[in-house]
Structure formats: structure tokens, C-alpha cells
A = this chain, B = another copy of it.
Amino acid sequence: MDTTIEQAVGILRRNQLKITKQRQALIDYLVTYKDHYVAISEVDEHMRTLFPGMSHNTIYRNVKEFETLGLLELKAQANQTLVKYQCDFKHQHHHHFICSNCGKVQELDACPLDAFEAQLPGCTITGHRIEFYGLCADCTAKLGASKSLSK
């Protein structure tokens, strides 16, 4: 039974990508944020403290490459791309609840795709994104349910 990191390295290997110390460190770092989105600029900043002078290009390129391998999930935000380690490499279909306060991501199951398909006769549905936002149980307990937060 491989660790999460060994799984990731295995994926790189299977795709004939070289295992560089920069990529190792990138994976290590992202795994520690496994269930949170991180701004890519923070990733950039972190990598450049580990490897002073590391090229922005390298960081951004690897993040994108890792996404196409299914290692990471990217999420466009205003003026920022967010990065999250992929919850499951088997790509089991699921959706997310994201805490607006602590950033924690929880997985949800059940997918209402079928219900919506019926409303789109003649269309070809190639994908969908379903996300819920709010306060996780911990943050609800701490902050109360009365906070007004971004949708």
C-alpha cells in the first residue's frame, strides 16, 4: 500500500516525467494542504523560499502539468488561480463543500446530473461543476451561523 506521495511519484514515473527535487518538494508541500485550496502565488512563494531563485515558469508549468495528470485540481478565481491536491486519484466522481472561513474542502457524494439532463434535450453534456460554500461545522460552532460571507 503506497502512501499518497508514493502514489503521486508513481504517476509521474508512469508518464515518463522526471522526478526532480523541485517536483518532489512541490508534491510534499501540496500534500500538506490536501483538503484546502491554496493560491498559486503562495505555492510560488513557498517554492522560492525552498529553492531561492527558482523560476516562476517552472512552478507554474509543473502545476499545470500536474493538473493534466490528475494530481491537482485548479480553480480560477478573480486574479488568482487556486490549487488543491486531488482528493482521490481514481477520480471518483464527487463534488465539494468549501468553507469560506478556514478553506477546508469536504467531499460530497450524490450527483444530480440525471435530473438536469432531462432539461437539456438534444444537448451534449460534457461536464459540470457543483460547489457549495459556507462555514464548515467547526467554523459554524466557533463563529456562529450569523456571519455574512461571500457566496
Contact = CB atoms under 8 A, between A and B. Distances in A.
Contacts of A126: 100, 133-135, 147-151
A76 B77 CA distance: 5
Copies in the assembly, this chain = 2
A112 B109 contact: no
A interface, how many residues as a size bin? 35 or more
Given A76-B78, A128-B131, A131-B129, A115 B123 contact: no
Top 9 nearest A-B pairs by Cβ distance?
A127-B151, A122-B137, A112-B112, A124-B135, A126-B134, A125-B134, A128-B132, A124-B145, A127-B133
Interface of A: 74, 76-78, 81, 95, 97, 99-100, 106, 108-110, 112-113, 115-116, 119-137, 139-141, 145, 147-151
